[in-house]
Structure 1
Amino acid sequence: MRILVIGAGALGGYFGARLLAAGRDVTFLVRPARAEALSKNGLVVKSRAGDLKLASPRTVTSDRLEGHYDLILLSCKAYDLEDAIQSFAPAVGDNTVIIPFLNGLRHIDVLNARFGKERVFGAQCAISAALSPNGEILHLVDLHTLSFGEQDGKRSPRRDEIVEALTGANFDAEVSDNIMQSMWEKWVFIATAAGTTCLMRASIGDIVAAGASGLIMNFLDECGKIAAAAGYAPRAPYLERTRPLLTAPGSPLMASMLRDIEKGSRTESDHVLGDLLARARAGETPILLNAAYAHVKSYEARRERESSK
C-alpha cells in the first residue's frame, strides 16, 4: 500500500515515521525547505515509546507529485486545508482513501465535496506531540492513538486493508464502526475547552479556582445540545469521563487555541467554534459559545489590524 503523509510536522511526522520504521511504503509531501532538512538531518522522533532516526525519508514536493496513492494521511491547520488539498489532489485516484486528523467536522464536508464521501474516512487522533526548533518530533506523553473508520460505519475489504497497513507500527490504531459519533464528542470537548479557556484567558484549574466551574458545565451543555440536534448526542459514558477533566481543581489544561492567542498566532476559531455555532438550531444562539467566538474573532481582527501597520 502506497501511503502519502501530508507534511512532516508533529502529527503527520510522528505517525508517518512509525509507519516507515515498520517497513511501510511511506512518502512525505513537504515544502522544499522541509525536504532539504529531512534529507540532511533525517526524520527524528523523541519518544518514551522508542526514539527514531530515519535517514533521508522519501519526500516529494507538490510540483513533483506523480501517480496515485492508496492512502493519504492528512494533518494540517484548519486554515491551511484548501492549500493542502491543492497540493495533494493529483495523488487522489479512484481507490484512494483520505484519513484526516483535523478537529471538528468542516474538513469532512470540504473533503467530501471535493473528492467524494466514499474516499474520505472519519478519523481522530489522541496524541500530544510538538515540533522542536531544530525539526525533531517530540512525543510528550505515552498516548498515541489513531482512530478511524468509514463515515457510514460499514466494514469493507478496503477498510480491512487499511487496518492491516496501520497496525503493528508501534502506535495504537483503532478501527471504529461509529467514528462520526466519536468525532462529534471530541468536537464538543475541544470546543468547550477552547471556548472557556480563551474566554477567561486562563487554564481549567484557574477557572475552577475562581468558582466558575458552573460556567464550564453550561458551555459543555450548549455544545452538547448542538451535537444532539445534529443526531450525535454525547453518550453518557463520554460525559462521565469528560466532566471531571473539565472541572478538576488545579488542572493545567489549556486549549491550544489559547496558546496561539498568547503567542500572537493565527487560530482555528472558525473551524472549532464558528462552525459549531453555525450548526445550532435556527433561531437559537448559544450565549457562551457565541461570546467565546466573538472574543477570539475580536483578537484576530486586532491582530490583523496591528500587523498591517
Structure 2
Amino acid sequence: MNVVVIGAGALGAYFGIRLSEGGANVTFLVREKRARQIEENKLAVKSPQGDYTIKKPQLATDAAEIDQADLVLVCVKGYHLEGTLDNLKKLVDQGAHVLPVLNGIEHISYLQDKLGKDAVIGGLSFIIATLDEQGHVVHSSDFHQLVFGPLHSTQMPICKRLDELCKAANISGKLSGHILYELWKKYTFINAFSGVTTAANLPIGAIRKHNSTFLIVEMILQEMRTLAKAYHTEIAADDVEAAKTQLLNLPDEATSSMHQDRRKGLTLEVDHLHGGALRLAKAVGVDMPYTEAVYGLIKPFENA
C-alpha cells in the first residue's frame, strides 16, 4: 500500500514509522523545517512496543512530488486542517482515500464537503507519545491503537487493505463497522477530560479532590451524550460510566494534551473540540451550558 502521512508530529510519525516497518511504502508530507530535521536525524521511535528507525525516510513538501497514493493519514491539529486542503485535493485526484486521525467530529463533514463523501474514511487513535529534541518519537504507553472504518460502502475494500497492513505492522489496528459511534465515544471523553483540566489548569488528581469540580466533568459527559443522540448516534449510559471510571482511575498527575499545550503556551484546539461541539449543538437546538462555560474559560488562552 502507498501511504502518505500529513503531519509528522508524534502521532503521524509513530503510525507512519510502524506502517513502514510493516511493509507499506510510506511518504511523509511535511513542512520544509521538519523535512530538514528528518533528513539530519532520520525518523525513529522509542517505545515499549519496540524501537525502530527509518534511515532513509521518503519525504515530500508538496503533494505534486508524490506519484502514487492509496491512503492519506491526516495527523494534524484541528487548526491546521484547512492548510492541508490543497495537498489533499491533489492526492484524492490520484484516487487516494483520506483517513483523518483527529479528535472531534466536525472535521468529517468539513472534509467530505471539500473532497467528496466517498474520499473520507472515519478514524481515531489511542496513544501517548511526544517528540524529543531530535524529532524522534517517544512512545510512553503500552497502547498504540488505530481505529478506522468506512463512512460509505465503497470504502470497505481500502479499509480491509489497511486492516491487513496493521496486522503485518506493529500496530493494534481495529476495523470498526460502527466508526461514527467510536468517534462520538472518544469525543465525549476528550471534551470532558481536556475541557476541565485545561480550564482549571490542573491535572485530573486535583480536580477529583473537589466534588463540585468533578461534577463539571460528569455534566460535560452527559451533554456530549445528548449531542451525539441528536446526530443519530447512541452513547449508552454504560459508556458514560466507563468514561467516568477511567477518569477516576487515571494517575493523579495525568492530564490532557490540550492542558499540556496550555502549560507550554502553545495554540489550543479549543475551537476545534469545544467550539465544534457548540456549533453542532446550535444547529440542532441542543443546550450545552457546561461545555459553553468551559469553552469561554479556555478561549482567552487559545493563541497564547
Once the two structures are superposed, residues 10-38 of structure 1 have per-residue CA deviations (whole angstroms, 9 ceiling, x without a partner) of 11111111111222111111122222332
Q: In the alignment, what sits opposite 1:230? A: 231
Q: In the alignment, what sits opposite 2:241? A: 240
**2:295 maps to amino acid:** Y
Once the two structures are superposed, residues 51-96 of structure 1 have per-residue CA deviations (whole angstroms, 9 ceiling, x without a partner) of 1121111111117524341111110011000112223431223632
The alignment yields a C-alpha RMSD, in angstroms, of: 2.0
Contact (CA 8 Å) 1:216, 1:246: kept in 2 or not? no
What is the rounded CA distance, in whole Å, between the counterparts of 1:132 and 1:104 in structure 2? 26
Contact (CA 8 Å) 1:153, 1:179: kept in 2 or not? no
What is the rounded CA distance, in whole Å, between the counterparts of 2:251 and 2:31 in structure 1? 41
Q: In the alignment, what sits opposite 2:193? A: 193
Is 1:251 the counterpart of 2:252? The answer is: yes
What is the rounded CA distance, in whole Å, between the counterparts of 1:23 and 1:250 in structure 2? 36
SS at match of 1:272: helix
Give how far 1:246 is off: 2.4
Q: In the alignment, what sits opposite 1:288? A: 290
Moved more, 249-258 or 42-51: 249-258
SS at match of 2:8: coil
Q: In the alignment, what sits opposite 1:300? A: 302
Once the two structures are superposed, residues 165-184 of structure 1 have per-residue CA deviations (whole angstroms, 9 ceiling, x without a partner) of 33210111110000011101
What is the rounded CA distance, in whole Å, between the counterparts of 2:63 and 2:108 in structure 1? 25
SS at match of 1:95: coil
Could you tell me which runs of 5 or more consecutive residues in structure 2 were left unpaired when the two chains were aligned: none
Alignment of 1:1-309 (within 5 A): 1-62=1-62, 64-93=64-93, 95-152=95-152, 156-212=156-212, 213-248=214-249, 251-280=252-281, 282-300=284-302, 303=304
SS at match of 1:280: helix
SS at match of 1:187: helix
Moved more, 133-142 or 223-232: 223-232
Give how far 1:152 is off: 4.3
> Normalized against structure 1, the TM-score is what?
0.91
Q: Evaluate the alpha carbon distance shift between residue 195 and residue 20 of structure 1 in structure 2; reply closer, same or farther with a 3 A threshold.
A: same
How many residues end up aligned between the 2 structures?
302
Q: Evaluate the alpha carbon distance shift between residue 249 and residue 162 of structure 1 in structure 2; reply closer, same or farther with a 3 A threshold.
A: closer
> Normalized against structure 2, the TM-score is what?
0.92
SS at match of 1:148: strand
Give how far 1:155 is off: 7.3
Give how far 1:205 is off: 1.5
Give how far 1:153 is off: 6.6
What is the rounded CA distance, in whole Å, between the counterparts of 1:34 and 1:300 in structure 2? 24
Moved more, 52-61 or 277-286: 277-286
Give how far 1:239 is off: 2.2
What is the rounded CA distance, in whole Å, between the counterparts of 2:29 and 2:155 in structure 1? 29
**1:29 maps to amino acid:** L
What is the rounded CA distance, in whole Å, between the counterparts of 2:251 and 2:133 in structure 1? 30
What is the rounded CA distance, in whole Å, between the counterparts of 1:94 and 1:59 in structure 2? 18
Moved more, 213-222 or 17-26: 213-222
Contact (CA 8 Å) 1:46, 1:139: kept in 2 or not? yes
Moved more, 159-168 or 286-295: 159-168
Give how far 1:283 is off: 5.0
Contact (CA 8 Å) 1:65, 1:91: kept in 2 or not? no
Give how far 1:288 is off: 1.1
**1:245 maps to amino acid:** Q
Contact (CA 8 Å) 2:270, 2:302: kept in 1 or not? no
Q: In the alignment, what sits opposite 1:306? A: none
